[in-house]
Amino acid sequence: MPTLFDTLEGIAALPDADLHGRRDELRATLLQAGEAVMESWLRAQQLPPTDDRHEGFRLLALQRQGARQDPSFNACRESCRELVYQCNAAAAADAPAASAEHLRLGAHVAMHLALFIDGKLENSRLGEFCCAARPLRARDDTGSAATPTQLA
């Protein structure tokens, strides 16, 4: 049985004509892959994954749900949004090469998202570097800006 990474790498390797011809199916596969990754994080946190949608996408609602419990989870917000964008752009593209490129990029973004979540499952502090996870200009006791090592 192929792994998620095998599926995503397979999509990225398809010829343009196949990507364009199967774009609706592949868009759904990419979004479902993103949702599965988010669900794995939520289940690991003993949270039932939501069926809600945010801005029309369950993937975005799942990311928001995870970020409520762990602000460092916001580090994957832009990856989720980029995956949605690439899938939407593939649907809107008329040229086969353009829709293929968007689907290929979407597969790579989904792989990035999966790698981030896998890493976060191993080390929950992964993502704390993200500006969305901490105040951009955190202050120390003296009132001066804290250095990155002081934030850890």
C-alpha to C-alpha distances, 96 to 19, 22, 144, 145, nearest whole angstrom: 8, 11, 54, 50
Token pair, residue 107, equals 């597969």
97-124 tens-digit pLDDT: 999 999 999 999 999 999 988 877 775 5
pTM of the model: 0.80
28-79 tens-digit pLDDT: 999 999 999 999 989 988 999 999 999 999 999 999 998 887 777 777 899 9
Q: List the alpha helices (DSSP H) in the chain.
A: 4-13, 16-21, 23-44, 58-69, 77-92, 96-122, 148-151
